[in-house]
Amino acid sequence: MTDDFEGMGDNSSTVLDSALSAALRNFQKRHALMVDGVAGSATLAAMNVPARDRVWQLRVNLERYRWFVGKLEPTYVLVNIAGFSLQYVHEGLWRWGTRVIVGKPYRKTPVFKADIQSVLLNPRWVIPPTILAEDALPAIRRDLGYLNRKQLQVIDSKGRVIDPASVNWSALRASGFPYRLRQRAGDHGALGRIKFVMPNSHIVYLHDTPTKDLFEKNTRTFSSGCIRVENPVRLAELVLDDSVKWNEASIRAAIGTKKTRAVALPRRVPVFILYLTAVAEKGRVLFLEDIYHRDGAVLKALNTPTQKLTLESCGF
């Protein structure tokens, strides 16, 4: 099956001894599966992937590396969508990593680069256009109580809070919507207590989340496109890069005031949001699930000699 099982002796045995159990767990780690030592359906499916397909997977991801590796700077944040992971690299050295939650398959997190410019403490969430059109407006038309449950305020063009009952919601459409729906800051908020401000055309950013339990899931596709960070306080401490003024204690103290506050970074920190289904880690290759089914488009482009590769031709 793979080199994880080399040296296991007679493979006809049906007994899962300690050596075979350890090899199985190692295999699960390498394929980003639930590490439980049980040969369940997901583990068996990964074992049955032909070696030819794994070679194709390596080829696809070597191509992806070629697109960005020359653009990396000495200090950066790298998010791997398919790996549900975030890494912080400082002056060329890996410093820290954590788990993340990414977009649902029908609201995919895009691949792009942006720069973190500031950290927003106790942020207030303004509902973006897609969520307004597909979720919020339909829910409000059905039940005005949605606004109260989500702790959303209706804000007009002059910044005034409007009584929702005074609005004819059935006549409004997402296109040309004259108000902003703004959520109050707090532990209940969609952004949690920290947002990393990184302007980009996708309106996608890194932020905290009130749903911490979702980080325990093996497949973490739960957001509407943004990246939820498991330990945002630590990431804020790293990118603010001032251990005297902005350490963990002072960041938590500022959050504790419940006041919305923007803290500018001393220097911008680039964020690379990538999609990699095969990565090198500690001298070994990890094979990850193609959660957005993007590998096939890249492989097809690679197998077409005359086609010029672009992000668009590869399904982005």
Question: What residues are labeled active site?
Answer: 207, 226
Inter-residue contact 221 to 103 (CB < 8 Å): yes
Rounded to an integer, what distance in angstroms lies between the CA atom of residue 55 and that of residue 31?
A: 15
| Neighbouring C-alpha atoms within 13 Å toward the C-beta of 101 | 24
Q: Which one-letter DSSP state was computed for residue 136? A: I
Sequence length of the chain is: 316
Rounded to an integer, what distance in angstroms lies between the CA atom of residue 187 and that of residue 258?
A: 10
- Of the candidates 239, 225, 185, 233, which has an alpha carbon nearest to the alpha carbon of residue 208? 233
- Of the candidates 152, 154, 151, which has an alpha carbon nearest to the alpha carbon of residue 163? 154
Burial of 18 (C-beta count, 10 Å sphere; 0-12/13-18/19+) = exposed
Dig out the tokens for 122 from the structure: 């106790």
Inter-residue contact 223 to 108 (CB < 8 Å): no
